[in-house]
Structure formats: structure tokens, C-alpha cells
């Protein structure tokens, strides 16, 4: 089974521009989460989508947004880029939670290779 894929793998932008990153989850996975990783802050949760709905959101400004499509693919967008947005952006997918009798094992998230964004 193919893993999580992310495109593009590398991006260079300048301040003020906007960027869109794409993530395709593992086949059958319907939950997609996004994380930002920087040397100073580590891995931080951005948001999570399930069934085209944002279920959880981290503590990031409104410049960071996302969406999910009916095929579970997800995109995140960063507008008005700042130098501090330079980071590795990681997407992770997991199985959907069952409506009842949830198994903890469905919480396991699998990461894609990431998109390295550099803002100049």
C-alpha cells in the first residue's frame, strides 16, 4: 500500500507571497493532519480534517488554512508569507474513527515525506 505523498517536496517563496501544499493520504485513510516542524519550535499541530471538515485546529494565525476534498486529499495554504514560516510542513494520515467502540489503534498517524518551504 502506498504511503502518504506530499507535493511539492521543496518550495522557495518570497515574503508576502502565498503557497499551497498538497497531501494525499494512505488509501482508506480519511483523517489528514498537518504539522509544522522548525528547529526552534519542534513539531507543532496545525489542523486536522476528516470528511472534508476541519475538526481540530492548532494555535496558528489565520494565514494558515486548509481544506479536504471528497477523495480525502488535503491542501494547506499559507498567505502573506513571513520569514518565520520557513519550515518543514508534514502531513499525516490515519484511519477514520468508528462511530462506536473506537479502537485506539486507529489513532496511529503516518507521516508523508514533507514539504520543505523556504521563505526569502
Q: How many CB atoms lie under 10 A from the CB of residue 52?
A: 13
Residue reference for cell 508523508: 112
Residues between 29 and 68 that touch other proteins (CB under 8 A)? 31, 33, 35, 42-45, 48, 50, 55-56, 58
Q: Give the cell for residue 69.
A: 476534498
Nearest-approach distance from CB 71 to other proteins, in angstroms: 19
Give residue 40's Cα distance to chain centre.
19
Measured from the CB atom, the residue of 24 and 94 that comes closer to other proteins is: 94
Q: Does 119 bind other proteins (CB under 8 A)?
A: no
Binding segment for other proteins among 15-23, 68-76, 77-85, 86-94 (CB under 8 A)?
86-94
Q: How far apart are CA 25 and CA 72, in angstroms?
A: 7
Amino acid at each position: 500500500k502506498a504511503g502518504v505523498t506530499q507535493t511539492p517536496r521543496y518550495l522557495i517563496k518570497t515574503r508576502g507571497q502565498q503557497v499551497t501544499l498538497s497531501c494525499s493520504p494512505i488509501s482508506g485513510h480519511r483523517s489528514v493532519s498537518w504539522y509544522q516542524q522548525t528547529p526552534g519550535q519542534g513539531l507543532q499541530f496545525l489542523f486536522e480534517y476528516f470528511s472534508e471538515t476541519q475538526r481540530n485546529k492548532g494555535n496558528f494565525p489565520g494565514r494558515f488554512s486548509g481544506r479536504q476534498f471528497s477523495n480525502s486529499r488535503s491542501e494547506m495554504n499559507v498567505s502573506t508569507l513571513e520569514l518565520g514560516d520557513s519550515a518543514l510542513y508534514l502531513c499525516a494520515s490515519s484511519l477514520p474513527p468508528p462511530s462506536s467502540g473506537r479502537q485506539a489503534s486507529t489513532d496511529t498517524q503516518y507521516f508523508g515525506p514533507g514539504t520543505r518551504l523556504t521563505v526569502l
